[in-house]
Structure 1
Amino acid sequence: MKKTITVVAGIVWDGKRYLAARRPDNAPFGGFWEFPGGKIEPDETPEAALVREFQEELNITPTEWKYWQTVTHEYEELIVTLLFFHITAFTGTLIPQEGHTVQWVMPHEASKLNFLKADIPIVQALSTLA
């Protein structure tokens, strides 16, 4: 039986652009682009996980967000359920941590990046907002 994990992912907006993060080469799925976020810990709400992960990974604290949708994707080795949130405001200075590289992208240009398979439906849905 495959391992199942539930993660939060944030679509951080800056005007009409959103933030994409490239996974470190030495991490699982290294080199792929994704929406920042991470695993929900036991006894943690999705909202608390969202804030914690953004503080840990990007040195920012989301202050305004709204749940958008859930996507489940089955990889060869695991099943991932992603809870996507639109983040429209944050405090702090954006400083990527944990070896991530970040880039602001226009929705219609994001498909040029090599996103994780689980994120591709979201990239496609966001491209229609442009």
Structure 2
Amino acid sequence: MVPNPLLVVAAALVDADGRVLVQQRPPGKPMAGLWEFPGGKIEPGERPEAALIRELHEELGIDVEAACLAPATFASEPLGDRHLLLLLYALRKWKGVPEARHATALKWVKPLELHRLDMPPADKPLIGLLEALL
């Protein structure tokens, strides 16, 4: 039995040039300064897609339709006394221009360039699949 699992959703926003959006975690947060895919925790009783739509609006100021979220892959990582299950969706269509509302910075990068960024342990295994998909 996994003790106290932490369910998190994230999006790989992909632009017309095949670049992916990552955001930098702000000072004062766990893993501050690391680059990650935007997203956040799934609240109790919330569907993963609804959580991601909510998080992308809060974090980036963009609006997303559930039909535009394509399940891509997941990561499973120990995280202290909890276990993180991260669901990653690919997203190519949204309304608005992403802005760093809760992050220090945003950056558009080619999937291959993700290997050079300092990222949380759960995000690293997702890079290879993104390279293959894009």
| 1:41-66 superposed Cα distances (whole Å, 9 cap, x missing partner) | 11111110010000000000123121
Structure 2: which 5+ runs fail to align? none
2:118 matched to 1:117?
no
Displacement of 1:2 in angstroms is: 5.2
In the alignment, the residues of structure 2 paired with residue 117 and residue 81 of structure 1 have an alpha-carbon distance, to the nearest angstrom, of: 12
2:105 matched to 1:108?
no
| Cα distance change on mapping 1:78 and 1:100 into 2, 3 Å | farther
Asked whether the equivalents of residues 71 and 89 of structure 2 are also in contact (C-alpha less than 8 Å), the reply is yes
In the alignment, the residues of structure 2 paired with residue 93 and residue 73 of structure 1 have an alpha-carbon distance, to the nearest angstrom, of: 31
2:81 matched to 1:43?
no
Structure 1 window deviating more from structure 2 (94-103 vs 5-14): it is 94-103
- Which amino acid in 1 is paired with 2:10? A
Q: Match for residue 80 of structure 1?
A: 84
Q: Match for residue 20 of structure 2?
A: 18
Q: Match for residue 9 of structure 1?
A: 10
TM-score, normalized by length of structure 1? 0.91
Structure 1: which 5+ runs fail to align? none
Asked whether the equivalents of residues 107 and 129 of structure 1 are also in contact (C-alpha less than 8 Å), the reply is no
Q: Percent identity?
A: 35
Displacement of 1:77 in angstroms is: 4.0
TM-score, normalized by length of structure 2? 0.89
Asked whether the equivalents of residues 74 and 126 of structure 2 are also in contact (C-alpha less than 8 Å), the reply is no
Structure 1 window deviating more from structure 2 (15-24 vs 70-79): it is 70-79
- Structure number with the higher strand fraction is 1
| 1:67-100 superposed Cα distances (whole Å, 9 cap, x missing partner) | 1122111123431101110011000221111234
In the alignment, the residues of structure 2 paired with residue 100 and residue 82 of structure 1 have an alpha-carbon distance, to the nearest angstrom, of: 22
In the alignment, the residues of structure 1 paired with residue 80 and residue 46 of structure 2 have an alpha-carbon distance, to the nearest angstrom, of: 27
